[in-house]
Amino acid sequence: MNVKISSTKPKILPTGCRCLDRLLHGGIPAGQLLVFYGEAATGKTTIALQCSIVCVRQGFKVIYVDADGTFPIERLRQMTDDFEKIAQHIGIFTPKNFFEQTVLVENLDDYLKQNVGLLVFDSINNLYRLALKDPDTNFTLNKELNRQLAYLSHFAKTYYLPVLITSQVHSVLEENQKIEPVAMRTISYWSPNIVRLWLNPKPNVRMASLEKFGGRSFSKIFCYFKLSDTGVE
């Protein structure tokens, strides 16, 4: 398959999974942030990879920020039958700490001008969480994460770009112990679209529930999907 570079960006980037696309009214909206959060192995990175493949096949480049430092190159190879052609249009950036992440975000403008159709941030709060060791610096770190998300929101609108963000989670001690994204308030403020991913007793089956879309809150809207060798289906 030849990947032809396009110049007309669509309003919505499909995920390549019919049930997720129905949940998201067609896919990831351009000009906005969309956050997928959930526990480990719920499919966050697989969804990010599949959206990247869809984007490249539509004729655009992808900027993929691998803030976890674990970009699954073999998983990408497994999910495509044209790996070399897909991979050459995905630019991978791997900040080593939260400071490097800040510098990268501030300079993403230099790369987004080059016919980019998707920006992936996997995951936005990993290096932030690792930096939260000294209580005296927490306020500064929170402020910095807020500024990074403000930059990403600005880039999404300026370049009419879908921005897919994955988020690590932590437990919240309440009557019903639940999980939520690390730095939930900051992420929720900047992202008008949030999807929670859930594990399922059935092997390779996951659930996605829509919590926020277009700035509106939702509940009890969900779908089931399967993680396979070829991605999300």
Q: Residues 21-58: pLDDT tens digits?
A: 999 999 999 999 999 999 999 999 999 999 999 999 99
Which pLDDT does position 9 carry in this prediction? 80
Element (H, E) at 34: strand 33-38
CA distances from 106 to 75, 95, 109, 150, 158 (A): 29, 13, 7, 10, 14
Task: List alpha helices for 44-137, DSSP H.
Answer: 44-57, 73-79, 83-87, 98-107, 109-112, 126-131
Around Cβ 211, how many Cβ atoms within 10 Å?
17
DSSP 113-148: TTTEEEEEEETTTHHHHHHTT-GGGHHHHHHHHHHH
118: left (phi over 0), alpha (psi -120 to 50) or beta: beta
Indicate the pLDDT class of residue 133, thresholds 50, 70 and 90.
confident
pLDDT tops 50 at residue 173: no
Which of 13, 50, 53 lies closest to 33, judged by CA?
13
Element (H, E) at 232: strand 231-232
Give the number of C-alpha atoms closer than 13 A to the C-alpha of residue 45, restricted to the C-beta side.
Answer: 19
Share of residues in the chain with pLDDT > 90 (%): 81
Share of residues in the chain with pLDDT > 70 (%): 94
Q: Three-state DSSP class for 78?
A: helix
The DSSP 8-state label assigned to residue 11 in this structure reads S
Average predicted confidence (pLDDT) for the chain: 91
pTM: 0.92
Positive/negative CA dihedral, 136, 140, 143, 147: negative
CA dihedral 214, 49, 124, 36 (to 10 degrees): 40
